[in-house]
Amino acid sequence: MVKEITADEIFIPEEWNEEQLMIRQTCYDFVKQEVWPKLDELDSMKNPELMPKLLERAGELGLLGTALPEQYGGFGTDFNTTMLIAEALGAGHSFAVAFGAHTGIGTLPIFYYGTEAQRNKYLPKLANAQWKAAYCLTEPDSGSDANSGKTKATLSPDGKHYLINGQKMWITNGGFADLFIVFAKIDNDENLSAFIVEKSFGGITMNEEEKKMGIKGSSTRQIFFNDCKVPAENLLSERGNGFKIAVNILNIGRIKLGISCVGGAKETLSMAIQYANERKQFGKSIGSFGAIKQKLADMAAYIYAAESAGYRASQNIDDAVEAYKASGVDEIEAKIKALYQFAIESAIMKILGSEALDFTVDEGVQIYGGMGYSAEAPMDRAYRDARINRIFEGTNEINRMLTVDMILKRTMKGELDLMGPAMTVALELTSIPDFSQEVEEGIFVKEKKLLANFKKIGLMIAGAAVQKYMQKLGDEQEILMNLADMLVEGYAAESTILRVEKLMKLRGEENCQIQKEMAMIYLYRALDKISNAGREAIYSFAEGDEMRMMLLGLKRFTKAEPYNLKNSRRKVADYLLKENKYAL
């Protein structure tokens, strides 16, 4: 929002090295050979041993411990590579959910916050799937407000163990987990603490498997802790540090969920492309019709933008880790700090990826037509399984409000200068526009000016809203949602334009025409959404001269050159139909 980013500063997926591409191929092969043939069996839940066996098979291939150092049974890959693995497995439907819960929120709390003894005891078993992990945070009366949980932990008089009592719900992998990361309040503490709980400790019971709309193959249980006796040394981190652990681990979960959704969306689009080529109506394939081409191109552009944003952010996290380490910070602490630094981008990616997938499966059903509504065709499962992604890891509404809330809090702390640039934009509104026709040379010159204007719109409205509501802005959730939409769309559009610019420098502009059209399709989508969100926000709190001035500013900042999107979509769709898959 407050600085210009150049194409050279970002990572793009076209820069994967040979080793990373081999890892990705291993994941693709695993999904195609081990998961897809068993999807019906997984969804039936008639074989409760099937999902644990698949996790064990993934463990044999080394896919469960990639984020862990070798000393704990892992491979010690960078964060960006773990994102690539999450994307490649993202088309695994329920398996992707079980994998994400085990390797992320089930394993990483111990790695980031455990003692050395805890890491040595548990991480090797989790890395090879000898033990499976689950994460127990949500309760019947505690969802988005996680710190309001009522599960209690009472320290024994001799200080040797805790007795945990309470109920957790929506616990992924709950039915077969050997280890649980459990959040509870010790005595009457205000904040949660976290515990490593082995199933063998006893005092753990659970309901039958939840009957769900989708991801039917994933185990989801309510779990009850009744005087569950946990050794005192299984307290994770410090007393009262549980909420901090939950928040930081969810940051990882959010960005990885977003990129996993990209993987699912790519496969869904590929199926839609193949069906559009095969399905004949009026004597020709439906892919030859403009209405279908528009859908295919819009799906592809959305996916491309989400992918661009995801890997831009994850490489930023890796770079931040290295910067912290270079300044003398311990490696694990460096990772925690880097994840906090990019928590906003993680929330953006969760929103962007899950909504790109939802858009893709919805249009996929439409392209399949009547067959899209049939349980015999693949869109049925894709549609149902996708819907959960906008809910777990924090609903998209919560994540939207979090993005703005985190920006404002960092501004208040002096970590981010938001009001200075906002005041500069306010002054610009009262100045005479520069109508000079000086021609600038370079790639995407006009488009990058539009991107800069997107940021000005966000600064203009955020600055005015902060001045009006001050500390009470958090109560104006509708405005926060509008601001978040501007932020998400601006970040995605910028990431896509910069990706294609960098690709053009690497491969030559003439070899990147399809990518250029994809970037333009998404840029104009972002333009419409930002314009609408800005107008809604202005209408909701501004009045009189202030409203008129801001609307004029919105009009000025959203002024764009006409662009023939119909031709762009046809070019992109024709390429996809020729390749018979998402080939970007």
**Residues annotated as catalytic (active site), given as ranges:** 393
Amino acid at 434: D
Beta bridge partners of 154: 163
Please tell me whether residue 411 adopts helix, strand or coil conformation: helix
Distance (Å, whole) CA 128 – CA 92: 19
Among the listed residues 275, 358, 287, the one whose alpha carbon sits nearest the alpha carbon of residue 572: 287
SS3 state of residue 241? coil
d(CA 426, CA 572): 39
Task: Find the helix or strand (DSSP H, E) in which 452 lies.
Answer: helix 445-469
Q: Give the C-alpha separation, 268 to 280, whole Å.
A: 20
Give burial (CB, 10 Å; 0-12/13-18/19+) of 19.
exposed
Pure H helices in 214-289: 242-278
Answer for the pair 195, 184: CB distance below 8 angstroms, yes or no: yes
Q: Is 436 exposed, middle or buried (0-12, 13-18, 19+ CB in 10 A)?
A: exposed
Helix (H, G, I), strand (E, B) or coil at 320: helix
Tell me which residue of 183, 52, 73 sits closest to 126, measured CA to CA: 73
List phi, psi (to 5°) of 224. -115, 135
Report how far residue 511's alpha carbon sits from residue 301's, in angstroms, rounded to the nearest whole number. Answer: 18
What are residue 315's DSSP bridge partners? none
Q: Judge whether 252 and 346 are in contact, CB under 8 Å.
A: yes
Tokens of 429: 């509104």
